[in-house]
Amino acid sequence: MENTALPFTTDPATGPLAASLGDRIGPWMAAFEAAGVALAVLDGAKPELPLLGCTAAFTARGGPGALERLRQAGPAAAREAQGRAFRAADTPPLFLAPGPSEGLLLCTLPEGEGQEDRRLRAQLALSGSAAWEWEIATGRIAGDTQFAAWHGLPLAGAALDPSGFFACIHPQDRMRIRLGVGGLLRGAELFSKEYRLLGPDGTVRWVQARTRCWPDAQGQPARLIGTLTDITEQKRTEERLRIAQSAGGIGTFEHVPGFGTAAVSGTFCALLGLRPVANLPVPLVNSLVAEGDPSPFDRAPPAAPGPAETRAFRIRRADDGTPRWLMRRGEYLRDADTSELRFSGVLYDVTATQEAEARLRTLNEALESRVAERTRELDRVWRVSRDLFFVGDAEGRCVSANPAWQAALGLPAAGLPGTPLGALVQEEDRDMLEAALAQLRHGGADVAVELRMRHADGTSRAFSWACIPDEAGFVAAGRDVTRRNELEERLRQSQKMEAVGQLTGGLAHDFNNLLAGIGGSLELMQLRLAGGQVAALPRHVELAQGAVQRAAALTHRLLAFARRQTLDAQPTAVNVLVEGMLELVQRSIGPHIRIETRFEPALWLTLCDQNQLENALLNLCLNARDAMAGGGLLRITTANTALGVAAAQALDLPPADYVRLTVADTGSGMDAATLAKVFEPFFTTKPLGGGTGLGLSMVYGFARQSGGQVRIDSVPGEGTAVHLYLPRHGEAAPQAPPAAAAGLPPARPGRRGTLLLVDDEPSLRAVLREALDYAGYTVLEAEDGAGGLALLRSAGPVDLLLADVGLPGGMNGRQLADAARQEQPGLKVLLITGYADAATLGADRAEAQMEILAKPFRLAEFLRRVERLLP
């Protein structure tokens, strides 16, 4: 007979007891049934142990058979077996619970050993919560499998009595829990407490018990129902936290936004200078926070749990008012009790860090303001300076330029970026610029170079540049030295003029003599002619010619000295040149000094400007004269010298062949100090009015320009020797320099070419025409540019145009030459120049292939030049 209301079988014989039992243990049995536990409930009061109910599993596994064996064994055996297993042959062992309890005796069939048990235990270990009930009237406490496991019960539903329940609680917590339960029993509605539970295996776990009291119909406490949650880990963490807090000066706190108080730790209070309490009013904490700083508490919670903003703020400690910096960190968690979002976080002192940061900020600001100040200063300098500033990139292009470019060169600074510096520099100086930039690029720390800059109006101004390399290029500052240069030049000029004045004094004297000589000769010639005495004429002519030569030479010197002249380098035989100067030199230095010469017979040619060489020689001789006030010996020597590496280096020259010209005297000599400064312009040892001091610097300049060098040996009291080195000119020189040949080349009859001769000076023109005629040339004459051009057009092509540069009538010789070339391209041109003709000649005459011949010249020279052009 089955009672379908009950999920397990009952023995109807037990009747009312069964019914009431059903009430009592029904839910438990249902659970056991579902779990497949093999369980039987017996009436323990009766010796024959009648079955009150059992689960299907019990029946299935042969439980009834085992039970029968137990009954057969008798009550004594049954009593004996309680709390143990009853074993009988051919039936499974029967485990009897200790008891009976309220008349019930429970038996189970253990499922099997080891494996199943272990599995179950493992399952139990994983869950973290237990549920339990305490029936007050009966004092019966039982719970689910977890509860059973924690309290050492064999299975769910197995019961403890209160003493057993409390026995599982750690002795130190036991009292507290009993009091709590007591409170519940007296009308408290709930209790929520943490305590330590002693496990059956001796483990200690922290649990939180939440229990409510449910009243019966009369309102008396009837049942306590609760949960236990394992919080061991949490407790450990709390402990570690507590230790960390006090060790690390970290205070913890919790606050639900909107609540007026926050739960705090002792360290939290200590950080604020407050006595340790468990909670603090929010306004009290906020009153310690510095004005304007944020509070550690939020007014409103965030939308969801998660990390909260880390926040720093200043406080004044409550105890001594000292200011401190504190930092709060934490997160929002969902509160289990209220399901609100609760801030849980820490507070710690960061004063040291903040102060350091503040100091750093102040320092940075001070630094920034100093930098800003400096920048303003530099900015001012940039804007206001009259010097040019140029910031360039690695390729020399402008990155930025200051306003001075506008004032100095008429170039608006705004338009300059992107322009290469080279474009702003005069063409001729671009190479120097490139060299300077290259030097910078290759690690030059600073480079100075003087460059001529192009003004917007086309003029040129000289600037002295100082350049320094920069990360991305270079920075250059340029000072206008045009004026300075001009002044220097003018000074030099005036000095030169002074020198010239001096020189002319002496020369004028000589000139007079020469003119007298010429005049005298002519007079004599006249006389002889008048008397028909032709035989003596040649001699007079020669004398006169000699004087002319000398006079010409003198003029030449003078003019060369006074004018600025670009080098007109010609292959030169130095011996010949020196020889030609000897007479002048002798005249210049006076009779009390003897001249000796020693010439290298096979002297190499050198390529130099002969005028300047003559200048240089003269200068040196004049210096020698000045050094030998009381007379002495002047020796002029020439030599070939090949300079090896060492010797060349010593002279700062490339190793090569050189011609050496030496002027030595037996004069007062110079000491080392004087020697050191001797090439400086304006340096002079001569008393005031005694010389300009320009001579040696010009000699030096000439030597260097010609690719040579000057060296001076001097012994005070004994004399000085000045050595002038000039590079050997490659072309082989004829042994007998033709320049010194006296007289005209022999006449060569036969037509050799047609010349157009244009000169406004009739006598000169006549003389030249005579000479040309003599030499066999056909000559067409004109006295000005227009005439010459007309002749050219009408007479047809000529072989050579010979024109004086200084022609009247609006067309000078140069212009005539250009015009003539229009008529006859490729026309050869020989221009005759006076000293003032440099500009008229034009800077490009070399390119234009126009030869020049400077007045005065000897006819032989003249003819030679023509011959060279028209061989």
Residues that bind another protein in the complex, under the rule CB under 8 A: 137-139, 161-166, 175-176, 178-183, 185-190, 256, 258-261, 263, 275, 277-284, 287, 338, 340
Decide whether 273 or 422 has the Cβ nearer to another protein: 273
Least separation in angstroms between residue 334's CB and another protein is: 14
Query: In what side-by-side order are the strands of the sheet with 140-143?
Result: 159-160, 140-143, 129-135, 221-230, 204-215, 190-198
CB 308 within 8 A of CB 330: yes
Q: Closest approach of Cβ 297 to another protein, in Å? A: 11
Least distance in angstroms from the C-beta of 296 to another protein: 16
* Residue with Cβ nearer another protein (319 or 379): 319
Give the residue with the Cβ less far from another protein, 277 or 381.
277
Compute how many other C-beta atoms are within 10 angstroms of the C-beta atom of residue 820.
Answer: 23
* Smallest gap from residue 99 Cβ to another protein (A): 14
| Cβ proximity to another protein, 47 vs 281, nearer residue | 281
Strands 593-598 and 800-804, by their bridges, are unpaired
What pairing do the DSSP bridges indicate for beta strands 473-480 and 94-96?
A: unpaired
Report the nearest approach of another protein to the CB of residue 180 (Å): 6
Q: What angle do CA 107, 111, 112 make, to 5 degrees?
A: 130
Name the 3-class secondary structure at 709. Answer: strand
End-to-end CA distance of the chain: 160
Instruction: Give the nearest distance from C-beta 274 to another protein in angstroms.
Output: 8
Measure the CA–CA gap between 585 and 581, rounded to whole angstroms: 6
Closest distance of CB 76 from another protein, Å? 26
Nearest approach in angstroms of CB 199 to another protein is 20
Q: 182 or 808: whose CB is closer to another protein?
A: 182
Q: State which residue, 190 or 567, has the beta carbon closest to another protein.
A: 190
Under 8 Å between Cβ of 517 and 544: yes
The residue with tokens 């630094």 is 367
CB of 162 to another protein, least distance (A): 3
Tell me the helix, strand and coil percentages in the chain, rounded to 5: 40, 25, 30
Select 163 or 763, whichever has its Cβ closest to another protein. 163
Q: How far is CA 560 from the centre of its chain?
A: 55
Residue 708 has what DSSP assignment? -
CB of 235 to another protein, least distance (A): 17
Cα–Cα dist 215/498, whole Å: 137
**CA–CA separation, 67 and 94 (whole Å):** 8
Residue 773 to residue 781: CA distance in whole angstroms: 12
Query: Minimum Å distance from CB 211 to another protein?
Result: 12
Q: Which is nearer to another protein, 190 or 491 (CB)?
A: 190
Q: Which of residues 171 and 809 has its CB atom nearest to another protein in the complex?
A: 171
Residue spans of alpha helices (H) in 249-301: 266-272, 282-288
For the bound state, the minimum distance from the C-beta of residue 253 to another protein, rounded and expressed in Å, comes to 13
Question: Per residue, what are the HEC states of 316-339?
Answer: ECCCCCCEEEEEEEEEEEECCCCC
Give the C-alpha separation, 539 to 522, whole Å. 11
Lookup: tokens for 6: 């009950």
Burial 186-199 (b: 16+ CB within 10 A, else e): eeeeebeeebbbbe
Residue whose CB is less far from another protein, 196 or 729: 196
Distances (CA, A) of 424 to 318, 419, 434, 519, 748: 74, 8, 13, 58, 57
Nearer Cβ to another protein (178/223): 178
DSSP symbols for 94-150: EEE-S--BTTEEEEE----STHHHHHHHHHHHH--EEEEEEETTTTEEEE-HHHHHH
Give whichever of 338 and 526 is closer to another protein, judged by the CB atom: 338
Smallest separation (angstroms) from another protein to the CB of 219: 9
Q: Could you tell me which of 481, 478, 486 has the C-alpha nearest to residue 424?
A: 478
Nearer to another protein, 185 or 595 (CB): 185
